Structures are given as C-alpha cells and as structure tokens.
Amino acid sequence: MSDSFTGAAALRIDDAEHAAEVRLSARFEPIEGRWRWAGRTSDATVAAAFRAGARDITVRIGDRPERPARLGDPDPWGGVRLTGVGPPPWDLSAPAGPPAH
C-alpha cells in the first residue's frame, strides 16, 4: 500500500488540462470516515493560475478517475499546495517506491 505519490499528474484548471509533477500523501481520518490528501507542485503554470484566482481544480493520475482538489497558498520557492478530500487520485494498493533489485 502506498499512502504517497510522486510523479506526473494531469491537473484540470478552468477547463484546460495541464501536465505537472506532484508530490502527494494521503491519510484516512477515522473520526470523519474519509480520506484527506495533500501535497505540492512546483509547476509555474499552476502557480500562475493560483495568482490569477484559480482555486478549484481536478487531479488525475494515470487512468484513475479525476478527483476534485483545491489550490492553496504558495511557498517561498514558488510551489503551490494541493488539498483534496475523499479517495486520492492514485492507486493506494500500488507498492510504494521503485521495486527492489
């Protein structure tokens, strides 16, 4: 099981799909009974969209369904935070990291 993902994702911002590298992690909140996931992207197009007022986006990883997400405050290095509630956009049953040799 992998509660984190680092790699390529498709972000839909204002009806346009944009490829970006993301770093995401997820945790199940037993009191709420749902998943919460969050992470960052350092993509300049996403940062520009945030500065222009974009907040609600979707995230798709591979052939998994799109998941709604929200853009959050940028960090000092230009990265933008992504947050989501519900099943994360990556396959949680996939092994974490590269296979051992």
Over residues 72-92, the pLDDT tens digits come to: 989 898 899 999 999 999 998
Distance, CA of 33 to CA of 52 (rounded, Å): 34
Distance, CA of 89 to CA of 43 (rounded, Å): 18
- Per-domain residue ranges for the chain? 4-85
Round the average pLDDT of the chain to a whole number and report it.
Answer: 91
For residue 55, the one-letter residue type is R
What's this model's pTM, rounded to 2 decimal places?
0.86
CA 31 to chain centre: 23
Give pLDDT tens digits for 5-38.
Answer: 999 999 999 999 999 999 999 999 999 999 999 9
4-85 is classed CATH 2.40.10: yes
pLDDT at 58: 97
The SS3 of residue 67 is: strand
